[in-house]
Amino acid sequence: MQISNAKPSTLVLALLLLNMAVASLLNTHVYYSLETLVYKQYENYLLQVKEQMHQTFSNAPNSQWQKKAIMLGQAFDTECLLIDRKPENFSAEDFKLLQLKQAQSGLIDINSAVIYYPLDNDFVAEIGPIAFTNWQTFILDWFSWFCAIFLNLPIIYWYLTYTEKEKKNVSTMLKNLPFNVTNDQQNIYENIQQLNELILKAQQENSERLILQRDLLHGVAHEFRSPMARIQFALDMLEETPENEHERLRHSMHTALEDLDKLVKELLYYAKLKDSEAIITLEKVNLHDICIAAIEEVNDFYPEVSFQITTTDPVYTAGNTKLLKRLLINLLRNAGRFACTVCKVALVARNNDISITLEDDGMGIPPGKSSRIFEPFTRLDASRSRDSGGCGLGLAIVLSIVNKHHGTVSLVEGKLPGACFEIVLPSNHSK
């Protein structure tokens, strides 16, 4: 297992085991020797204190004992007391040892760091506890912490260096990604979170594209049936019909082929618009002029319908002239198919956006179709239209063009009895 790929919990466990092993070795070979050395020095120091007590009290009269005791206490930074030589003032072992001849020069209780010096049969001088401090005792007291620091500090330094290096590598990778996820004001974790959001968004877009491709495939298969059937029918009839009928059949085949060609072109145009990465060229456009041009282009197809625009003031926005004209032509052709006598277009410039309203006096949207009219290959009631109704991509193309301009299109309630579409575009959109 490589350390670079190890989990934090594994590293912590390995570090803990390493500390335990090193601590055991150090305690056995270093700490014990150091402790023995310090213990011997402490014993020598206590012997020196005992000798000092003997020199202080051996020839001192009774009247000087208290004064001498105070001086000794101050010299060794502890207390020196004169206590009665009674069993209750000592431990059983110390009281027994004080009766021995060897104890007349002083008795050391190493466990409590106290020294007793018999003054006479009634009193004993007691000094302690006696502290012993030097650099070796300091090291002994902090030995475990020193070992832990010196052992773990290089490991921690290596880990922090490695982590910082990995963060820099990730930052470099983020900068080289085809997504704009780096920001000097953000840390690496915020950038990774932003990258995660972009990936999720890309996954959602891919899912939507797959659904779109599936729906388009089904729609294309369905739309191809009718012209292909007409061509097949005409080919079958060529051999059985009189020669004077051949021209009519050939015309039918040409018409079917033209319908197929129109369908393919519309599909390619729609697929191009649906490509989220496709960039459109924006320019300052006059929506009033575009509306006039679109009306002039569809006016001849529907001579019984009066196309009217209710404003003469120029309204400007940042957009693509060709796409916006196509948008209006599709809506006007859709309105022309179902209008009875009139179709009205209204432009309204508001504070932050521009509203384009297009309504007709036809029968309106059939029940159940309003929620799906912008989906590909969704047709309105073909029995009420004056032409074939197109290939079912007109309103889907309208929605795609509006999305490219960061606007919205929706069905609203109008003044005329027919359908009323409202398009809202940003007034000062810049990409």
| Residue-wise pLDDT tens digits, 245-260 | 778 777 778 887 877 7
Nearest residue to 286 via CA among 248, 313, 264, 262: 313
Q: Where in the chain is the domain with CATH 3.30.565.10?
A: 279-431
Please identify, in words, the CATH class of the domain defined by 182-278.
mainly alpha
Q: Which of 206-220, 313-327, 358-372 has the lowest mean pLDDT?
A: 206-220
Q: Residue 136: beta bridge partners?
A: none
Q: pLDDT tens digits, residue range 9-59?
A: 676 677 777 777 777 776 666 666 666 777 787 788 888 888 888 888 888
Higher pLDDT, residue 267 or 188: 267
* Model pLDDT for residues 288-336, shown as the tens digit of each residue: 999 999 999 898 889 899 999 987 678 888 888 888 998 899 899 888 8
Enumerate residues 6+ apart whose C-beta is below 8 A from 151. 18, 19, 22
Record: fold of 279-431: Heat Shock Protein 90 (3.30.565)
Predicted local distance difference test score (pLDDT) of residue 414:
86
Confidence band for 345, pLDDT divided at 50, 70 and 90: very high
Counting every residue, how long is the chain?
A: 431
pTM of the model: 0.49
Which regions of the chain carry the CATH code 1.10.287? Answer: 182-278
Residue 195 CB burial class (10 angstroms; 0-12, 13-18, ≥19): middle
117-131 average pLDDT score: 86
